[in-house]
Amino acid sequence: MKIFKIFTLLLLTGLFSVGLGAQDFPDVNVKTLDRRDVALSDYVGQGKNTVVAVWATTCPNCIMELDHMKDYVEKWSTQYNAEVIAVSMDQYQRIRRVKPMVNGRQWPYTVLIDSQRQLGSLLNFTAIPQLFVVDGDGKIIQQYSSYQRGREEEVDRVLARLK
């Protein structure tokens, strides 16, 4: 009887998971480092797998995550057809700090700014860093909250499965 209950629970969990499907990554208006208005959909869901890191200049764990990920950018691009985008959540009064930080740390990412924090509202998060693996169709495949050293290896495995 216990095995039947476990089997039923697993079956129902699987059915609900399949029924829910993957969530679309939202399209919001953001700014480039040069303060041009662009749509996030110009960068996500265009046939390429995308790693989207949400961060801010005041977040030490965010900076650590972006520092550690930069060693993976070339591999993810060449082996998995993936690109990395870093979306700053710095509010208007802190935007001027973003570009110098990116240049100083030599991050090889496309960096965009969501000073209105629309992503947090649409994806229902308040804490950063947040990391999303999005497939070429713009579906969120994996989401990570906070940063743990070695997360890059987990992301690498997810991207390998999407290949």
pLDDT tens for 93-143 read: 888 999 999 999 999 999 999 999 999 999 999 999 999 999 999 999 999
pTM of the full structure: 0.84
| Residue whose token pair is 């629309």 | 118
Q: What is the CATH number of domain 23-162?
A: 3.40.30.10
Q: Which amino acid is at 121?
A: S
C-alpha to C-alpha distance for 13 and 114, rounded to whole angstroms: 35
Find the DSSP H helices in 21-95. Answer: 60-69, 73-80
C-alpha to C-alpha distance for 123 and 25, rounded to whole angstroms: 8
Instruction: Provide the residue ranges of all domains of the chain, joining segments of one domain with +.
Output: 23-162
